[in-house]
Each structure stands twice: as structure tokens, then as C-alpha cells.
Amino acid sequence: MKILVINCGSSSIKYQLYEMPEKTVLAKGLLEKIATADSVLTHQVGEKKISIKKAVKNHEEGMKLIVDTLLNNESGVIKNINEISGIGHRVVHGGESFPRSAIITDEVVKIIESYFDLAPLHNPPNLTGIKASASIFGSIPQVAAFDTAFHQTIPKVAYLYALPYEIYEKYKVRRYGFHGTSHRYVARRACVLMNKDKDKANIITAHLGNGCSITAVEKGKSVDTSMGLTPLEGLVMGTRSGDIDPAIIFYLEGKGYKIDDINTLLNKKSGLIGVSGASNDVRDILELANKGNERAKLAIDIFCYRVKKYIGAYTAVLGRVDALVFTGGIGENAITLRWKICENLTGVGIELDKEKNDKTIKTEAKISSINSKVDVFVIPTNEEVRIAVDTYELVKSS
Ligand code: ADP
């Protein structure tokens, strides 16, 4: 059965075509700069990569280009679109409505729309992708996989903010958490690597990419996570502040900042770029830090300190921790940051093996020392394959 996985951003469409249940990737690609004259599609089959430069007006035109490329005699891997049995879409916010992936119906579309104000940057393009692919694929079933779904098992004690209760009742203001598909994927992989049943292990999963979040997984279920109502809460990120004293907002307002400017300041100008004043990319910051740039060093120190603090907190939440997993662009690649995060964590049973950590880049490996009570893994995330599995299972049983 062939399953197409789609991740639609505001100006991009990422896709992977899978053969299921084997999980073989038949083709994958990325269409960028939609709605500009410089749109470009990068399409890959095995080792062969092609690039198509062509102005693409909107997502529907983009989906058509992708489908044409999949059908093309030279670049393609299918002869007819009906060979595709299901389409799985990444959708960021599913609110309290979706504890798991769901077949997309008119009702599901309405609910995704109702969360536009909670995820204004993500849900609208996600839905645009769903509508564009519905117009091309007709009655082929479509599935929505929500970033929030995995975190729906978080208990009230951890998801409720200590605000007047009616704020939750009226506006559903609570912790939702994001990156759920990634946390679920790496937590399950860690269980496979430890040869443990997924319902038995306690795992802390750290997804450190442009956006960063950390999750406490108890016996296969998310019981707490660092992102909240929106992805702004928690860890320090590329351009987001993560946790701050909310009073800073009113203080800055008193200093003449407009509320929209503060929103931009916290989401786009803070975190690594804010502290370093130079870049949101750890590679650039490390280069500057190596040259002695104090602000770059500080940005890295603050980033690592925050992750360490959450590891301590989630160790307390879980009681017993079997594994800590690093994933995402930073978690998979940044050797020095992993080392700094885990430094002096022997008190909570975590100790890295320097040599193993040093040689692990973008591959699945155990990097803890033989003395470490907690197994520490690097596991490259693969949200697409989880979405493919969910789509395959839902389509098969529908
Ligand atoms: P996204 O959250 O957009 O999916 P990624 O998970 O790919 O992003 O993470 C991107 C970030 O990973 C970059 O901004 C950079 O900070 C970091 N990164 C990528 N490669 C490296 C590397 N070799 N060394 C250190 N950091 C890296």
C-alpha cells in the first residue's frame, strides 16, 4: 500500500511517498517559496536528486506539481494517482479534540479551523494543504496527524495553569504541548533499542531543533512537556525565549513596547539569536564561541542550563528514568551541547561516554557511559514515518 505524507508550511510543502507496511521511502521532496517567482521543487528518488524551478502560485498548484513529478516517466515512481491509498498530513494543533490521528472528514476540517487562533502560523497552511490535496486526490482517504495528540495523556495537574479556573473552561487555556509525533517516535525507538516493552519504560525525550521541547514519557504515555498553550513556553529556542516571568510583558509595555512588538520580541528575536545577537543557528554560535565571543558562549550556556533544569524536573516527575533521548537538529548533531547538558548530572544517574558522544552525529547510538544508570541515546527523529504508520493503519481499518 502506498501512503503519501505531506507537511504543509505557509510557503512550503514537504512530502514523502512510502511503501507500507515495509516503511520504504519511494520518493521524497520539498517545494519551497510557494507564491513567489522563485519557487523550487527538490525531488529525490533513491540517490537521484532533481530540482525543478518554476513559479508556483499557491498550494494547490504546488500539490499538482508534486503529483506530476511523482507520475513523471523519468522522475516518477507511480503510473496513476490511484496507486496511492492514503494521504497523511501533519497538523500542528488538535486542541483537546484529538488524542490520536484521525481520518479527515468535514467535521475534522471544522475542528482544525476552530484552532486557527491557537496556532495561527501552522493550522491555516496545514488545512490549505489538506484542501489542495482533496481537490487533487478526490476520494482517496486523508488522515490528520496532530503534533498535540501524543500529549493528550498529560494529567490535569500538569496541563492546567494556576489561573482562574474559568479561563480554562471558557477559553481552553491550558498546556497542549507540541512535537508530539517526534517525541512519540523517539520514545518508541528508545524502547526498541533497550529491548523493553513500550508500556514499561520511563523516558525523557529532548527534541532540540529550531523549536525545542522536552517531554516526560511514563510507560509509553506523555505525562508532561515543556511547550504550553503555544510553542513559546519551556526551553530556550533558536528565536523563542521559552520560560520567562510573565510580568516582563507588562513591564515592557510600561516602557512603551506595543503588545505586537512584545509578541515578535519573544517569538522571533529572543532565544539563541536574542542572547548571542548574532544567529539562531547553533553552528554559527559555536563558531563565534570558539573565537571567544562572550555573548555566543552565554547563549549556549543558557540554552544548556535550561535543558538540564528540565531533565532534573522530569526526573522528579517520573521517579525512575530508564532513558534520555536527544533528537532534532541540535540533539542529533551538537556534540558539545549534549556534553554540556549532561555535565554534572551523575546525581540523577546520567553520565555520557565522551568518546561515544564525540563520534555520534545524526545516527542512532547509545552515548551513555557504562556507569550511567540512565541510558542516553541519540535518535534521529522521523515524524514522517510515524504519520505514514498512522495513516496506513487508519486507512487499512476504514
Ligand atoms: P526544525 O526544528 O526546523 O525541524 P532542525 O531540527 O533541523 O529544525 O534543527 C535545526 C537546527 O539544528 C539548526 O538551526 C542548528 O541550530 C542545529 N544544527 C543543525 N546541524 C548542526 C550541526 N552540525 N551542529 C550543531 N547544530 C546543528
Q: Which residues pair with 8 in a beta bridge?
A: 13
pLDDT 10s digits, 263-279: 999 999 999 999 999 99
| Cβ contact 64:121 at 8 Å | no
- Measured over the CA atoms of residue 260, residue 263, residue 268 and residue 272, the dihedral's sign is positive
Contact 87, 387 (CB under 8 A): no
Mutate which of 207, 212, 281 for ligand 1 pocket (most atoms within 8 A of beta carbon)? 281
| SS3 labels along 327-396 | EHHHHHHCHHHHHHHHCCCHHHCCCECHHHHHCCCCCCEECECCCCCCEEEECCCCHHHHHHHHHHHHHH
Specify whether the CB–CB gap between 75 and 43 falls below 8 A.
Answer: yes
The answer to whether residues 198 and 220 touch, using CB atoms and an 8 Å cutoff, is yes
- Answer whether 281 contacts ligand 1 (Cβ < 6 A): yes
Report the 10 Å Cβ neighbour count for 196: 16
Q: Is the pLDDT of residue 356 over 90?
A: yes
Checking if the pLDDT of 10 tops 90, the result is no
Q: In sequence order, what are the residues at sequence separation of 6 or more whose Cβ sits closer than 8 angstroms to the Cβ of residue 298? A: 275, 276
Give pLDDT tens digits for 51-72: 999 999 999 999 999 999 999 9
Instruction: With a cut of 90, say whether residue 366 has pLDDT above it.
Output: yes
What would the pLDDT profile of 155-210 be if each residue is shown by its tens digit?
Answer: 999 999 999 999 999 999 999 999 999 999 999 999 999 999 999 999 999 999 99
CA distance 94 to 176: 9
Say how far apart CA 207 and CA 299 lie, in whole Å. 18
Question: What is the pLDDT averaged over residues 270-295?
Answer: 98
Residue 259 CA to ligand 1 centre (angstroms):
30
Q: Whose CA is nearest to atom 3 of ligand 1?
A: 210
Query: Residue 223: pLDDT above 90?
Result: yes
Q: Which atom of ligand 1 is nearest to the CA of 381?
A: 6
Told to judge if 281 belongs to the known catalytic residues of this protein, a careful annotator would answer no
Provide mean pLDDT across the span 202-228.
98
pLDDT tens-digit map of 303-342: 999 999 999 999 999 999 999 999 999 999 999 999 999 9
Find the catalytic residue in 38, 147, 281, 358: 147
Q: Could you give the count of Cα atoms lying within 13 Å of 217 in the half-sphere of its Cβ?
A: 33
211 CB under 6 A from ligand 1? yes
Give the pLDDT of residue 237. 98
Gap between the Cα atoms of 141 and 88, Å rounded? 9
Tell me the CA–centroid distance for residue 79 and ligand 1, in Å: 36
CA 286 to ligand 1: nearest atom: 25
pTM of the model: 0.95
Residue 351, pLDDT > 90, answer yes
Establish whether residue 231 lines the binding site of ligand 1, counting it when its CB lies within 6 angstroms of any ligand atom: no
Q: What is the pLDDT of residue 121?
A: 86
Read off the pLDDT of residues 108-118 as tens digits, 9 standing for 90 and up: 999 999 999 99
Q: How many angstroms separate the alpha carbon of residue 95 from the centre of ligand 1?
A: 27
The reply to whether ligand 1 has any atom less than 6 angstroms from the CB of 62 is no
